[in-house]
C-alpha cells in the first residue's frame, strides 16, 4: 500500500485550525489546510474577537474625548467619523488575515480553497468553483467552528435584524439598538454602541447578565450598565418580533410578567453559537455528537481513529479562541507523538471586553460551594486602587475564591479597568499551583492596576491594606 499523501488535513482556518496547521508544519508533518471562505482567520479574526475589540478600543477613545474636560483637555467640535472607524477595524482584520496566510506559508502548510466534507477512511472531499477533489490523510482535524444561532423564524437581513456578522458591517451608528442576549457577545456590542451614542436596551432571558460569570460579577456589570444608561431587562422574554417602517418592534414579557412594546432602529440577536457540524460528512465516520457538538477524548480524538476535533465544534469546552488554539496544540502534539497535556477546564480564562472589563478563571463562589468545598473569599474594590483612580475607571473589584484546606486558589473573578488583562496573573498562579499564601508574597509594582489582584489575595485573610 502506498503512503497517504498528507500526515494531516485541517478543516477550517479559525484560531483552532490555523494554529494547529502551523504547529504541525513546525513538527515537520506534511499538512494541508482547507478553508471555504476567501479569507483566512475564521470567526475570531473576520467577524468575532478582533473586529469587536477594534471597535471597543475606538469606543473607549471616543468616550475619553467626550469626558476630556474632566482632565483639563478641551476638545472643540469633536466629531465621530464612523465610516473611518469601520475602515480602521477592517484594515486591522485584513492585516492579520494576510499575516495568517504568511505564517502558513512559512510553516509549509498547503492552503486548499474549498468546502471540505469527510468521506470516511481518511478521505476528504473538497468542493470549489473549479470542481471537486478527493484528498487523503493519515489524520484529520475538524476545526469548522460555529455560527450565530438565530431565534425561530428570524433571519438576519443586513439592515435591521442583525447577527455579529451584519452589525460589524454597519456604516453608521444606529440611533437605537435592542440586543437580545447578555452573554459576552451581546454585552460587548451594547458597550460599543452605547459609547458611540446609541440608545441601547439589553434583553436577557436568564436572571442575570453574563450568566457564566460569578454572580457578583453579573450584579456589578448590570449596575455599571444601568449607570451608563444602558437599559437592562433580565428575566425578559421577547415574544414577537416584527419589522416596522423605520426599524423593529418587539413585544417583551418582563420578569414581573408585564408585556411591553419596544422599538428600535436595529436588533442584534446574540443568543449563542451553533457548531458547524451539520454538513461536513461526520455521518461517514464513527465520530459521536452531543446536541451537534463533537465528543472528544482528552487528546481531542473523536471516536473515529485519526479524526480529531478542536474549537467551537467540541462538546464540553467553552467557545473561545484561546480554547480552540490550545485544543489544536493538544491534537497536533498527539498526532506527532509528542507529550500532550490535556486541557484543564478549570484553568480557562474567560474575558469580556466591556467597560468595566471582565476576566475570570476557575470556580465561581457558587460552583465551589456546590462542590462542597470549604472556602474563604477575598475581595478588593478598584475604588482603593490609585492607578484606577488616575485612569478615571474605578468601578468593580477583584474576588478570590480559596479552598481553606491548603489555601488552593479555586477561582479569581475580576470586573474593573482592563480586567481582561489582569486575569493573566491568576491564570499563571493557578497553572503553577501557587497558593493564596504564595501570591500574598508576590510583589506588585506600584501604582498598577494589578496591585488590586495582590490586595484581593491578602483580603482572603482580611489583610488588604487599601480598603
Q: Active-site positions?
A: 446
For ligand FAD, the closer of residues 43 and 464 by Cβ is 43
206 by Cβ neighbours in 10 Å (0-12 / 13-18 / 19+) ranks as: middle
Q: Of these, 146, 302, 354, 458, which contacts ligand FAD (CB under 6 A)?
A: 146
Q: Which letter does DSSP use for residue 409 in this model?
A: E
Q: Of these, 16, 156, 417, 454, which contacts ligand FAD (CB under 6 A)?
A: 16
Question: Per-residue string for binding with ligand FAD, 94-133, x by CB under 6 A?
Answer: ---------------------xx-----------------
CB of 144 to ligand FAD, least distance (A): 4
Q: Is 357 in the site for ligand FAD (CB under 6 A)?
A: no
How many residues bind ligand FAD, per CB under 6 A?
34
For residues 183 and 315, give the distance between their C-alpha atoms in angstroms, rounded to a whole number. Answer: 19
For ligand FAD, the closer of residues 34 and 434 by Cβ is 34
For ligand FAD, the closer of residues 168 and 409 by Cβ is 168
For ligand FAD, the closer of residues 43 and 364 by Cβ is 43
Task: Dump the DSSP string for 179-247.
Answer: EE--SHHHHHHHHHHHHTT-EEEEEESSSSSSTTS-HHHHHHHHHHHHHTT-EEEET-EEEEEEE-SSS
Q: Of these, 109, 178, 185, 361, which contacts ligand FAD (CB under 6 A)?
A: 185
Q: Is 287 in the site for ligand FAD (CB under 6 A)?
A: no
Q: Is 282 in the site for ligand FAD (CB under 6 A)?
A: no
Cis peptide bond N-terminal to 323, omega within 30: no
147 by Cβ neighbours in 10 Å (0-12 / 13-18 / 19+) ranks as: middle
Q: Is 52 in the site for ligand FAD (CB under 6 A)?
A: yes
Q: Which stretch binds ligand FAD (CB under 6 A): 9-17, 58-66, 227-235, 355-363?
A: 9-17
Q: Is 454 in the site for ligand FAD (CB under 6 A)?
A: no
The answer to whether the CB of 238 falls within 8 A of the CB of 202 is: no
Q: Is 36 in the site for ligand FAD (CB under 6 A)?
A: yes
Which residue do the cell numbers 484528498 mark?
135
How far does the chain reach from its first CA to its final CA, in angstroms? 72
For residues 277 and 284, give the distance between their C-alpha atoms in angstroms, rounded to a whole number. Answer: 12
Provide the CA 155 distance to its chain's centre, in angstroms.
23
For ligand FAD, the closer of residues 48 and 359 by Cβ is 48
Task: Dump the DSSP string for 83-135.
Answer: HHHHHHHHHHHHHHHHHHHHHHHHTTPEEEESEEEEEETTEEEEEETTEEEEE
CB of 114 to ligand FAD, least distance (A): 7
Binding site for ligand FAD (CB under 6 A): 11-17, 34-37, 42-44, 48-49, 52, 115-116, 143-146, 164, 185, 276, 280, 311-312, 319-322, 324
Amino acid at each position: 500500500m502506498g503512503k497517504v499523501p498528507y500526515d494531516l488535513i485541517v478543516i477550517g482556518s479559525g484560531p483552532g485550525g490555523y494554529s494547529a496547521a502551523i504547529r504541525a508544519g513546525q513538527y515537520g508533518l506534511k499538512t494541508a489546510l482547507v478553508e471555504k471562505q476567501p479569507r483566512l482567520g475564521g470567526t475570531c479574526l473576520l467577524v468575532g474577537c478582533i473586529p469587536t475589540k477594534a471597535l471597543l478600543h475606538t469606543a473607549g477613545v471616543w468616550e475619553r474625548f467626550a469626558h476630556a474636560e474632566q482632565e483639563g483637555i478641551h476638545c472643540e467640535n469633536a466629531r465621530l467619523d464612523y465610516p473611518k472607524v469601520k475602515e480602521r477595524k477592517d484594515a486591522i482584520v485584513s492585516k492579520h488575515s494576510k499575516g495568517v496566510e504568511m505564517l502558513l506559508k512559512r510553516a509549509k502548510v498547503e492552503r486548499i480553497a474549498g468546502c471540505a466534507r469527510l468521506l470516511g477512511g481518511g478521505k476528504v472531499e473538497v468542493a470549489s468553483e473549479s470542481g471537486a477533489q478527493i484528498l487523503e490523510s493519515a489524520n484529520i482535524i475538524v476545526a469548522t467552528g460555529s455560527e450565530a444561532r438565530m431565534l425561530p423564524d428570524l433571519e438576519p437581513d443586513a439592515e435591521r435584524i442583525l447577527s455579529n456578522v451584519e452589525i460589524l458591517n454597519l456604516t453608521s451608528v444606529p440611533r437605537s439598538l435592542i440586543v437580545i442576549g447578555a452573554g459576552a457577545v451581546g454585552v460587548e456590542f451594547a458597550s460599543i454602541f452605547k459609547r458611540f451614542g446609541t440608545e441601547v436596551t439589553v434583553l436577557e432571558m436568564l436572571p442575570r447578565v453574563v450568566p457564566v460569570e460569578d454572580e457578583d460579577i453579573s450584579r456589578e456589570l448590570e449596575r455599571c450598565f444601568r449607570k451608563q444608561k444602558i437599559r437592562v431587562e433580565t428575566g425578559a422574554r421577547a415574544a414577537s418580533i416584527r419589522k416596522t417602517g423605520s426599524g423593529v418592534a418587539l413585544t417583551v414579557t418582563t420578569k414581573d410578567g408585564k408585556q411591553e412594546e419596544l422599538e428600535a432602529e436595529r436588533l442584534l440577536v446574540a443568543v449563542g453559537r451553533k457548531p458547524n457540524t451539520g454538513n461536513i460528512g461526520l455521518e461517514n465516520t464513527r465520530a459521536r455528537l452531543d446536541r451537534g457538538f463533537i465528543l472528544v477524548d482528552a487528546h481531542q480524538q473523536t471516536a473515529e481513529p485519526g479524526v480529531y476535533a478542536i474549537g467551537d465544534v467540541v462538546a464540553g469546552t467553552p467557545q473561545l479562541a484561546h480554547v480552540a488554539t490550545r485544543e489544536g496544540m493538544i491534537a497536533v502534539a498527539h498526532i506527532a507523538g509528542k507529550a500532550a497535556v490535556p486541557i484543564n477546564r478549570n484553568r480557562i480564562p474567560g474575558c469580556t471586553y466591556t467597560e468595566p472589563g471582565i476576566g475570570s478563571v476557575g470556580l465561581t463562589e457558587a460552583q465551589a460551594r456546590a462542590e462542597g468545598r470549604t472556602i474563604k473569599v477575598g475581595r478588593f474594590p478598584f475604588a482603593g486602587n490609585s492607578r484606577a483612580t488616575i485612569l478615571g475607571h474605578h468601578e468593580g473589584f477583584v474576588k478570590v475564591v480559596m479552598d481553606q484546606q491548603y489555601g488552593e486558589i479555586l477561582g479569581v473573578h475580576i470586573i474593573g479597568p482592563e480586567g481582561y488583562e489582569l486575569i493573566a496573573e491568576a491564570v499563571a498562579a493557578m497553572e503553577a499551583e501557587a497558593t493564596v499564601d504564595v501570591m500574598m508574597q508576590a510583589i506588585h509594582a506600584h501604582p498598577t492596576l494589578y496591585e488590586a489582584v495582590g490586595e484581593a489575595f491578602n483580603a482572603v485573610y482580611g489583610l488588604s491594606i487599601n480598603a
